Amino acid sequence: MHDQSMRRGGQLTKGSPPGSGVWPAGLEGVAATLEGLLSASAGLSGQLEHLSLIHLHLDDAEPLVATSSLALAMAREQLRRRSGPAYEAVETGMPVIVSSSERPGRFPSAAPSAAEQEQASEVAVPVRSRGRPAGALSVYWTELVDVDLPALTMAQALAAQAGDLIDHRRQVMNLHAAMRSRELIGQACGVLMSRYGLAEEQAMHALRLVSQERNVKLREVSAEVAESGTLVELD
């Protein structure tokens, strides 16, 4: 089961460069964690062999994680057509269960691909990010099954963990960015104080004024000053 695991929209390979694939730089570690989480769940439960995870706010072209070639193909098809149980789960914020007999009427564009992949049943549950549905975790079966409460509960638990992992990593990234911004602003103020004989408050005021006049972020102006050692507007 584990040797079929996939993430970043393709087969896992060693030595992949950081930030490659569908994951933004800084979220690669989450990809590995989610891949392990879903693959372990697939190994523990025969009902959850084929799993995929999409997150529309991170990438809308490839699934973030897929545990089998069937799951990868089905998730890609829904993303390509922008239709299917995963999309309905995001739109409604509710689990969506569909069988092969129901799919042509509910999701006609996705029905041919499902039949080609011999995919008979599917459940998609929303993955929440910042309190709102932003993606979906899907479970696929090659046989027609009645999705029971234990399978649905397991899928919902995995979706909740996935959402928490992504949100936590984003918070860490935002914190690091804020700390880096403060460092850059401090460096830029030091440059202006040394070069132009300004007081700290004057240097800060100059950076903010240029930021407003250029309509760019204070961080960008500060990075420019820290790198160049000057501020054009003051020369």
Query: Domain boundaries in the chain?
Result: 2-173, 178-234
Looking at the DSSP assignment, which residues form a beta bridge with residue 137?
53, 125
pTM: 0.63
| Mean pLDDT, rounded, for 206-211 | 92
% of the chain exceeding 90 in pLDDT: 25
| Mean pLDDT, rounded, for 60-66 | 77
| Lowest mean pLDDT segment, chosen from 7-11, 62-66, 145-149, 228-232 | 7-11
pLDDT at 143: 83
CATH number given to 178-234 = 1.10.10.10
Give the CA dihedral 56, 173, 64, 102, nearest 10 degrees: -40
- The pLDDT tens digits for 114-161 are 556 667 889 999 998 888 888 899 999 888 888 888 888 888 988 888
- The pLDDT tens digits for 73-98 are 889 888 888 889 999 999 999 999 99
Q: What superfamily does domain 2-173 belong to in CATH?
A: GAF domain (3.30.450.40)
Better-predicted residue by pLDDT, 141 or 64:
141
